[in-house]
Amino acid sequence: MPISHSEASIRTNLSSSHRSIGYLLHPSIAPNLPSNARIADVATGTGIWLKDLAKVSPPAYSFHGFDISAEQFLPAESLPENVSLGFLDFKKPIPEELRGTFDLVNVRLIIISMGPLDVWRETLTNLMTLLKPGGVLTWTDGNFLIARGFRGADAASTPGHALTAGQMQLNSTLTKRFGFSFPDMGDLFRDAGLQNVQEDVISTDRLVEQRREFTEIGVGAVFGGLVNLSKAGTGQEGYWSEEEVGRR
């Protein structure tokens, strides 16, 4: 499901999302990677996370981005020589040639592709097959099921309750239609047999200078999603119509 109305907006959202965290790679991971680390970014979107990481990593590292569509990929000529982008569907068995070949597997913001707990488990199992023995997996996602919006200090800011109402309606629709859930990520990893599990919980507005940008991204994602769902659920009880989304 697209998260906004235009390709330009989608690219902006995908290109900016990782920067709200405050680091590209968790500080506990970077020092322990081998000198020739192979790094995979699954659901890479534009590939911007890999491009940014390559700029601050040893030149002997190689970076491989994967997605189910090349539509949002950055132009190949804009990427460092050690960054490549290609096709992979993380919900299907991993091709043999990729299994056990990466020191680090990173995945970001795929909750919109998830659903019931079994889908999370199956996805994690697939991602783990990419890892070398002793490899590291990082998963960054937003628990939108508990997300809320609040009015800013500016008197002209949009009332937070409008975004919260939209978010709750989106959550309700996704839960009813697709069985959406958000598991305890620590338990999910430990139950899959992963070791030394660490969890870092942050707010998307932790960086003051990015709050306006990420509020706009959140509004676009929520109400863009509601517009798309309104088209799929026309006439069904509990769905907002496109007119209702616009009114809100």
Cα–Cα distances in angstroms (integers) from residue 151 to residues 178, 210, 248, in the given order: 30, 16, 15
- Identify the pLDDT of residue 100: 98
- Identify the pLDDT of residue 3: 34
User: What DSSP state is assigned to residue 6?
Assistant: S
DSSP string, 93-122: PPPGGGTT-EEEEEEE--GGG--SHHHHHH
DSSP string, 170-199: HHHHHHHHH------HHHHHHHTT--S---
Q: Is the pLDDT of residue 64 over 80?
A: yes
210 vs 19: CA distance, rounded Å: 9
pLDDT digits (tens, 9 = 90+) for 103-157: 999 998 888 788 899 999 999 999 999 999 999 999 988 777 776 666 666 666 6
User: What DSSP state is assigned to residue 33?
Assistant: S
Cα–Cα distances in angstroms (integers) from residue 229 to residues 169, 181, 219, in the given order: 11, 17, 15
